[in-house]
Each structure stands twice: as structure tokens, then as C-alpha cells.
Amino acid sequence: MYELGKTYVLLGAVSCLIGVVLCFVGRGRLIFSWLALLLLPPMAFVIIWNWYFSLVINPIYAFFSANRLAPSVALTYGYQLYYPADRGPVNGWIYPPVGALAYLPATAVSNPPMTVLAGCCLSLLFYFGPVTGLLAFEARRGRLKAEVACLLFTAFAVLSNRLISLYMVSTMAHTDAPALGFGALALGLVGRIRGERLGTIGVGAIVAAICASYSKQVQAPLLLMPALWVTATGGIWPGLRSLGITAALVLSVLVPVALVFGPEEFFFNTWIVPSHHGLKYPTIGENATLLFWSLWTQLQRPLFAILLCTLASVAVVRVRGIDRWGALRDDPIWLSFLIGGCLEIPPAILGYVKRGGDFNGEAYALYPLAIALILILGRCVWSVPRLAALLIVLTLYLGVSESRGMMRELPRFDRAPSGGTSPRAR
């Protein structure tokens, strides 16, 4: 066995031993809690190793992360973020400024490779931070046990590692991670709006949506979410009032941003240049074929497993009666992510089929939809506690599947170190 494989097996065995020790410490607990204590240490190891593997051993498109950090680094040397068409360096930044500003902490590291690594770590924080906060909020409100929240996070982390679009945005230093993170924060706050008035939570949701859309233009549809939610819960006129507040806040941010970065330069780089990116192929049929091929690559077994478990859980809750079904209707934060993900489907498709688009464009729809799946599954387990057994089986399957895939992949990195220039085929 190769060195990386030996290290993986050894650390995996240690994590399993920790799980066994926790089981002895937690004697007297319910069977589900006992099994969760057994599974969580090895699952935590699998996830942390995946992150280490993705950021250090085999970073996907490592040069891409370095290129996307260049504008942030250039800011610290006195360069502008945007330049007009006829002068200045071409830094390739065609997005609003929030993404570049979000990675400024990584520029504090003077060593270039470590700067890239710090930027990728920030991407993990932007990507997984909102999901952690959502699950913690659900647990604090008594709608999830701590063990269930941890198992749901492991399921989401494994899914993010296996779907190429989510894998790219979570491990690369790019504006996608902060855009998705702010978008998730906005949708989480939208799900807590009640009645006709936006309130502090609603205004916070609008501000988060503005930060998301000012990270990447494809998140602009999320600006409609607070108004749509208020319309659904409070009526048309409150919805129109919310839309007016959203427009006022957007303009109040747009004007100073344009003035700070230069109206001409800002408009040229964030609108003129992207709007001239045509489709990859001249015909609709060719672009549709490309899109279907990309979606086919996303159809990984963990996705089917999580989707199947979620649908089965919803069916069980529905069969158990209206009282159990109410668990899904009360404070439906999951619904805001489901709606937000559906709103993002058209721009996500366009983001992939346009010239320069890649799998990361599809993450703008898949990310909120994946969060919705996890939240729905958690609500179902809360409603029907016996469904925790299904969650245990799902976690065990995901852990074994990830470990087998990693063991197949590690030997080739002992033979010849990877240049980190291509996605993993697993």
C-alpha cells in the first residue's frame, strides 16, 4: 500500500476508535444517539481529509484560484479593481466588487502558495458557514437534535464533494463562494419573515441579497425573494412596498459603489464585457446537448441516496397524518431555499452555456436546492423520530462510499504528484 493510503487507513482507524470510546462514554443513551456517536468521528475524518485532499494534494484548477486572487492582491499594491477599455492592466475581474473584497484577508499572507491556500480556506468558510448556522439554528429552536444536525452536515459535505459544480465552488478561491454564502444567508432570513412587514429580519435579508448580487451578477434574482415572500404571506400591497424598499436599498448601494470604483470603469467591466459573452455553440440544440451532458455528470450516487431518503421521509410523514405534516409547514425555512433554487435555474443554465462558463455556474441552483433537501430531511426526522434510522443508514453509506473512492484515488498521487489541473473522475 502506498504512503498516502497507509496514512488514510491509520487515521481512519483512529477516528473509528474514537467513535467506539464515545459509545462507551455515552452508555445509557438511546440507540440512535449511540450510533450517531459511533459514526460521527469517522465521518468527521472523511470530510476533513476530503478538504485536505482538495486544497493541498489535488486542488482543482489550482492556477484558476491564483488568477482569481490576483485582483484582491493587486488592491493591496494600489491598483484599481476596474480599468477602462483603453488603459490599465487586464485583471479579468468582470464581477461586482464584494467577491474581491471578501478575499482580502488571504492577501495578508506574504507567501504566494499560502495565499492561494488561505483563499481556498476562506471559500470553505463562505460555503459551509451558512449551512452550519442554519443547522445550529434549527437545533437551537428544538427542531433538530444535535446528533441529527451533525449527521445532516456530513451528508451535505459529502454531496458537495461529489458533485463537480459544488466541489468547484467550495474549494476554489473565486467570487462564487461568497456569492453563494451571502445568498444562503439571504434565503435563511427570508424564511423567517412573518406577515406583512419586512422588519429587521426582512431588511437583513435584502442586505444579504444585495451582497450576494454584488458578489456575482447571477445572484440578482434573489433580490426578488423578500418581496415575493411578503406577497405570499401578507398580500400584494405589502409585497409591492417590500419591492420598493428593495429597489431603494439597491440604488443606495449602487451609487456609492459606482462612485468609489468609477462609474465608467465599473459599468464597462461588470456589464459591457459580460454581456458580450455569447453562447458556446451557435445552435440551441448544441447548447442543450452540452447542458444535458453537464447534468449527467452531476448524477452521482450520493445525490440519488440523499434524494431518495428525503422523498421517502416526506412520504412517511405525509402518511402519518396532518399533525406530523405540520412540522414541515411551521417556520418553513426550507421553502425559501427551494424557491430560491428554482429562481436561480435560468441564470445558472445561462452561466454554464455561455462562453467562459463552467460547472461552477450550475452551483447557483444546486446549492440552495441541496440545502433545501437537507432541511426537509431534518424536519422529517424531527416529525417522525424513527426516521433517524434511515439517516443512520444514509450516513453509513456515504462514509463507506467516500472512503472507497478515496482509497482508489490515493495510490496514483504516490506514484506521480498531480499538477492539480483537472477535475477528479470518481
Is the same domain home to 49 and 98?
Answer: no
Q: Is residue 42 one of the residues assigned to a domain? A: yes
Instruction: Cite the beta strand spans of 23-165 per DSSP E.
Output: none
Mean pLDDT throughout 400-410?
Answer: 82
Question: In 98-245, at which residue ranges do the beta strands (DSSP E only) sit?
Answer: none
Give the pLDDT confidence of 336-384 residue by residue, as tens digits. 999 999 999 999 888 888 888 788 888 999 999 999 999 999 888 888 8
pLDDT higher than 50, residue 420: no
Examine the domain organization and report whether 143 and 286 are in the same domain. yes
pLDDT at 419: 47
Task: Give the separation between CA 191 and CA 211, rounded to whole angstroms.
Answer: 18
**Domain co-membership, 324 together with 258:** yes
Q: Do 48 and 154 sit in the same domain of this protein?
A: no
Q: What is the tens place of the pLDDT at every residue in 211-265?
A: 999 999 999 999 999 999 999 888 888 889 999 999 999 999 999 999 999 899 9
User: Within this chain, do residues 268 and 325 fall inside the same structural domain, yes or no?
Assistant: yes
pLDDT given for residue 279 in this prediction: 81
Q: Determine whether 280 is exposed, middle or buried from the number of CB atoms within 10 Å of its CB (0-12, 13-18, 19+).
A: middle
3-class SS of residue 279:
strand
Asked whether residue 421 is assigned to any structural domain, the reply reads no
78 in the same domain as 42:
no
Q: How many domains does the chain have?
A: 2
pTM of this prediction exceeds 0.85: yes
| Terminal-to-terminal C-alpha distance of the chain | 20
Same domain, 36 and 154: no
Per-residue pLDDT tens over the stretch 260-288 = 998 999 999 999 988 888 888 888 888 88
Q: What percent of the chain has pLDDT over 90?
A: 42
256 and 309 both lie in a single domain: yes
Does residue 10 fall inside a structural domain?
yes
Asked if residue 422 belongs to a domain, the reply is: no
What pLDDT sits at residue 326?
54
Q: Are residues 47 and 63 in the same domain?
A: no
**Are residue 173 and residue 53 in the same domain, yes or no?**
no
Per the structure block, which three cell numbers stand in for 385?
423520530
Residue 426 lies in a domain: no
Angle at 77 between CA 274 and CA 75, to 5 degrees: 35
Based on the fold, state whether residues 161 and 227 are members of the same structural domain.
Answer: yes
44-64 confidence digits (pLDDT tens): 999 999 899 888 887 777 678
Domain holding 121, by residue range, is 59-383
